[in-house]
């Protein structure tokens, strides 16, 4: 029986790929459990990136070559990335396409799936073959994290976006030495024109919110002062997020929720977060939930593993100081 081919998207906001982010390492780990691993990328991977891909079992890297008439700022437009995915699937005859569950990844994967006539599952938490081999079984949480579901994708190929922190990234037992192969991509002129494109730099030392293993979020209870929230996050090496209301007040720019960023960290800390359904839908897949709120009746406590009833302005600085003291002794 021919081993299935699993294609993984190595995404990067830049033209040169200089790192392999944690969500992609997780995808490579999942892909190895499903079959042969190929990688597709828009940018040119560095020597270090190729070594990392080899350490995680990639057999080949397909680097897209786009028409010279296409301006560089249009390379990351959804229609273009979708065309790259379609070309890579057809080149490799892939049985499964895995992409990170970023906004750009999900959008391009959905368009690619439509063009390929493939089934698509977004924000999966697990991917495996059925006991009899096919079809593909995909696990995910729905209805604000209250139901765990398993879907089967009967099409070939199957397209799946996988949430960050769904599995532990594990290198292969035996590393490979993937070669870079050019992937010619024919792209029709996009129906939109990119006027400007800016890659926002995240705060130094903080991981991206959707990828972080630890997240500290602030809500209305902060009163607009995110200083204690950010200080605790920096002590933990965590990402910072907010509730939708806090973001709409202009207190912080990235919010967690059903219409915002969906996170599934190993540890989530909510400070001054009441626990509205919209917010819970974006974080309820967290493995451990810690809540700090001065209202003992706050709904967030219903789903918390650890609850602290108190003033976050006092609790968070003490926690940050204790964490730094512990690190200094280690």
User: Is 46 annotated as a binding-site member?
Assistant: no
User: Is 243 annotated as a binding-site member?
Assistant: yes
Q: Residue 319: is its pLDDT beyond 60?
A: yes
What are the tens digits of pLDDT across the range 245-299?
Answer: 999 999 998 899 988 888 989 999 999 999 998 899 889 889 999 999 999 999 9
CB atoms within 10 A of CB 319: 22
Identify how many contiguous H helices and E strands the chain contains and give both numbers.
8, 17
Which residues, 6+ apart, have CB-to-CB distance to 27 below 8 Å? 8, 9, 98, 99, 100, 162
Task: Give yes or no on whether 5-184 and 209-329 have one common fold.
Answer: yes
In the chain, % of residues over pLDDT 90:
68
Q: Yes or no: say if 54 and 171 are a contact pair by the CB < 8 Å rule.
A: no
User: Is 275 annotated as a binding-site member?
Assistant: yes
Looking at domain 209-329, which of 3.40.50.300, 3.40.50.1220, 1.10.1740.10, 3.30.70.270 is its CATH number?
A: 3.40.50.1220
- Separation of first and last alpha carbons in the chain: 52
Burial level of 196, CB count in 10 A (0-12/13-18/19+)? exposed
User: Is 177 annotated as a binding-site member?
Assistant: no
CA distance 7 to 180: 14
User: Is 276 annotated as a binding-site member?
Assistant: yes
pTM: 0.80
User: Is 206 annotated as a binding-site member?
Assistant: no
- The CA-CA-CA angle for residues 179, 182, 184, to 5°, reads 155
User: Is 277 annotated as a binding-site member?
Assistant: yes
User: Is 165 annotated as a binding-site member?
Assistant: no
Domain 5-184 architecture: 3-Layer(aba) Sandwich (3.40)
pLDDT value for 198: 66
* Half-sphere exposure for 207 (CA within 13 Å, toward CB): 20
User: Is 259 annotated as a binding-site member?
Assistant: no
What are the tens digits of pLDDT across the range 23-71?
Answer: 999 999 999 999 999 999 998 899 999 999 999 999 999 999 988 877 7
For tokens 């003490």, name the residue: 318
User: Is 135 annotated as a binding-site member?
Assistant: no
What is the domain partition of the chain in residue ranges? 5-184, 209-329
pLDDT value for 11: 84
User: Is 115 annotated as a binding-site member?
Assistant: no
User: Is 274 annotated as a binding-site member?
Assistant: yes
């Amino acid at each position: 029986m021919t081993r299935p081919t699993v294609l993984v998207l190595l995404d990067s906001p830049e033209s040169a790929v200089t790192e392999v982010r944690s969500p992609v390492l997780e995808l490579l780990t999942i892909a190895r459990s499903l079959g042969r691993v190929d990688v597709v990328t828009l940018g040119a991977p560095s020597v270090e990136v190729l070594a990392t891909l080899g350490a995680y079992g990639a057999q080949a890297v397909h680097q897209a070559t786009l028409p010279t008439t296409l301006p560089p700022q249009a390379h990351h437009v959804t229609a273009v990335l979708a065309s790259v995915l379609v070309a890579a699937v057809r080149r490799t005859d892939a049985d499964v396409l895995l992409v990170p569950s970023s906004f750009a990844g999900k959008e391009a994967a959905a368009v690619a799936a439509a063009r390929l006539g493939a089934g698509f599952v977004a924000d999966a938490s697990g991917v495996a073959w059925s006991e009899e081999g096919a079809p593909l079984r995909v696990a995910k949480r729905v209805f604000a994290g209250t139901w765990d579901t398993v879907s089967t994708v009967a099409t070939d190929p199957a397209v799946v976006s996988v949430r960050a922190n769904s599995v532990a990234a594990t290198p292969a037992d035996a590393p490979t030495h993937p070669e870079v192969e050019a992937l010619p991509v024919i792209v029709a002129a996009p129906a939109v024109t990119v006027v400007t494109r800016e890659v926002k730099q995240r705060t130094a030392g903080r991981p991206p919110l959707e990828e972080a293993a630890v997240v500290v979020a602030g809500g209305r209870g902060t009163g607009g002062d995110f200083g204690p929230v950010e200080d605790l996050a920096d002590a933990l090496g965590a990402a910072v997020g907010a509730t939708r209301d806090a973001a709409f007040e202009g207190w912080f720019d990235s919010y967690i929720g059903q219409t915002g960023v969906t996170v599934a960290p190993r540890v989530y800390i909510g400070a001054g977060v009441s626990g509205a359904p919209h917010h819970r839908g974006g974080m309820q897949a967290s493995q451990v939930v810690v809540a700090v709120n001065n209202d003992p009746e706050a709904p967030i406590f219903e789903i918390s593993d650890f609850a602290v009833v108190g003033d976050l302005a006092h609790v968070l600085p003490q926690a940050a100081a204790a964490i730094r003291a512990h690190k200094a002794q280690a």
